Amino acid sequence: MAKKAVRVRFAPAPTGRLHVGGARTALFNDLFARRHKGAFILRVEDTDAARSSEEYYRSIIEALTWLGLEWDEGPEAGGKHGPYRQSQRRDIYAEYLDKLKEGGRAYECFCTPEELEERRRDARDAGEAPRYDGRCANLSPRERERLARQGLKPCLRFRLDEGADLAFDDLVRGRVEIKAGDLDDFVVARPDGSPTYNFVCAVDDATMAISHVIRGEDHISNTPRQLAVYRALAFEPPVFAHLPLLLGPDRSRLSKRHGAKAVLEYRDEGYVPEAFVNFLALLGWSYDDERELFSLKELRKYFSLARVAKKGAVFDVDKLKWMNGVYLRRLSVGDLFERARPWLEKAGLVGAEDDEKAELAARALALEHEKIKTLGEAPELIAFFFAERVEYDEPAQENLLKLPGGAAILRDVAEACAALEDFSAEALERTVREFAQEKKISAGKIIHAMRAALSGRAVGPSLFDMAALLGQERVVKRLMKAASAYKR
Ligand code: GLU
């Protein structure tokens, strides 16, 4: 038998922004498709008109695009299994709902939400799993008519048969079995006729010829319902792979309080997509037990579901930060500056056309290249180069005070700096060290005080490089200013 072509899909609902979990699912689908030379389909699950919005839809597309994922079929891409937005597939669902009804696999249920809620409560009180008791399953046409005449609008329920699959083989989890009690005659269409998720998902996956459904573990309990729909409509079911839950470092389910945000928020904070994608890939997947750094291209070559773990994957924001720093260090100074530019412009440090300031910013960033972790940190790291007045933070103030005879020393250093003809980092360093020896003061103390005077901070790049970049005039001025700040 010819092997079925690999076709996978990512199926977000535009009822919110794309978060880390969704992004991980999208990425794994992309990787699996590329690895197997298959197709990656984007399907927008926007049947819930009240909660879906065009704005969320746009922001999901924007986030996927930022990550560098490319779908072969879907909105904006087209394809022969479209339309790819569920809101445009109503006719297809109506056709298959009719098929279910004709085959006796769906029935009208007139139970009201209040009645259902009451029965659910009773079941819970009795310690049982709430499930539909099937009381409308065998209504006679006459009874149905009577109920309809009372003005009750029925929903449509799926009629489970004896042979419903309670188990399936999952490529990540192995054999998955659910309890018979967890499955009941579920709703396939609401009283207003709109079809529900489990039904449309199965119809779409089948009619879009999806071969593998790769999605979050939270959907495991839906799988038997979807399998039941496949069977009833004589569709061949896909293979399932449920990805492990995302956890916070405390191993509880990942949430906002663990620092998990929408993907575009990470972009806005200055994470680069190369790092973000690499980080996402390791949320549940590993190559071996060591290597951690992969480009998207490499991931597309190496990814395999066989190396996706069952146990929950811990989302660690510190690791993301570290990884982002690794990717930023790999950039050339010019690239780093260009990528940081929007943040620098927003902070007012660099104008859109200001070449002089841009040059200073690029060289200042080069000095912070080893340290910077996100592009969003750029303005804060280099703001002191541009400042009219240096503000001393507390550790800087302490370093100024720790220099014995500080005011006089800084004034002398300022003079020595002013006298330099060659204002290079090397010449500065020589001057400061000779000066320290002459005055019998530790060079370290002078250096710390100078750093405080020049940058207002106690930590930063090499003092002499930083001073050379600031330039003679600013250095002398800042040293004099600091000298005059000592209390007499
Ligand atoms: N719209 C569903 C979700 O966003 C899709 C689930 C699935 O992949 O089947 O969770």
**All domains of the chain, ordered by start, with CATH?**
1-79+244-330 (3.40.50.620), 90-243 (3.40.50.620), 333-383 (1.10.8), 394-485 (1.10.10.350)
Helix (H) / strand (E) element for 174: namely: strand 174-177
Q: Whose CA is nearest to atom 5 of ligand 1?
A: 11
Q: At which residue do the structure tokens 């000066």 appear?
A: 435
Helix-strand-coil percent breakdown of the chain, rounded to 5? Answer: 50, 10, 40
| pLDDT reported for residue 11 | 98
User: Which residues form ligand 1's pocket by a CB distance below 6 Å?
Assistant: 11-13, 45, 201, 215, 219
Residue type, 236: E
Distance in angstroms (rounded) separating the CA atoms of residues 438 and 154: 96
| pLDDT reported for residue 488 | 58
Task: State in Å: Cα 315 to ligand 1 middle.
Answer: 21
The proportion of the chain whose per-residue pLDDT surpasses 70, expressed as a percent, equals 99
Q: Whose CA is nearest to atom 6 of ligand 1?
A: 11
**What residues in the chain have per-residue pLDDT under 70?**
1-3, 488
The per-residue DSSP string of 321-346 comes to HHHHHHHHHHS-HHHHHHHHHHHHHH
User: Which atom of ligand 1 approaches the CA of 22 most closely?
Assistant: 4
CB 184 within 8 A of CB 131: yes
Distance in angstroms (rounded) separating the CA atoms of residues 9 and 253: 24
User: Which atom of ligand 1 approaches the CA of 205 most closely?
Assistant: 9
Residue type, 35: R
User: Which atom of ligand 1 approaches the CA of 226 most closely?
Assistant: 9
Task: State in Å: Cα 235 to ligand 1 middle.
Answer: 19
Task: State in Å: Cα 29 to ligand 1 middle.
Answer: 13
Q: Whose CA is nearest to atom 3 of ligand 1?
A: 12
Longest dimension (CA), the chain: 110
Pocket-testing residue among 60, 196, 197, 199, ligand 1, by greatest number of atoms within 8 A of Cβ: 197
Task: State in Å: Cα 11 to ligand 1 middle.
Answer: 5
| pLDDT reported for residue 162 | 76
User: Which atom of ligand 1 approaches the CA of 9 most closely?
Assistant: 8
Q: At which residue do the structure tokens 């799926």 appear?
A: 158
Beta bridge partners of 174: 170
Task: State in Å: Cα 169 to ligand 1 middle.
Answer: 19
Can 319 be counted among the known catalytic residues?
no
The DSSP secondary-structure symbol of 52 reads -
Nearest to 459 by CA among 381, 344, 359: 381
The DSSP secondary-structure symbol of 377 reads G
In the set 80, 179, 256, 487, the catalytic residue is 256
Distance in angstroms (rounded) separating the CA atoms of residues 468 and 482: 18
| pLDDT reported for residue 49 | 86
Q: Whose CA is nearest to atom 4 of ligand 1?
A: 12
Task: State in Å: Cα 222 to ligand 1 middle.
Answer: 10
Count of C-beta atoms within a 10 Å radius of residue 329: 13
Task: State in Å: Cα 60 to ligand 1 middle.
Answer: 14
Pocket-testing residue among 41, 219, 223, 239, ligand 1, by greatest number of atoms within 8 A of Cβ: 219
The per-residue DSSP string of 196-265 comes to PHHHHHHHHHHHTT--EEEEEGGGGGGHHHHHHHHHHTTPPP-EEEEEPPEE-TTSSBP-GGGT--BHHH
Distance in angstroms (rounded) separating the CA atoms of residues 432 and 415: 11
Q: Whose CA is nearest to atom 10 of ligand 1?
A: 12
User: Which atom of ligand 1 approaches the CA of 215 most closely?
Assistant: 8
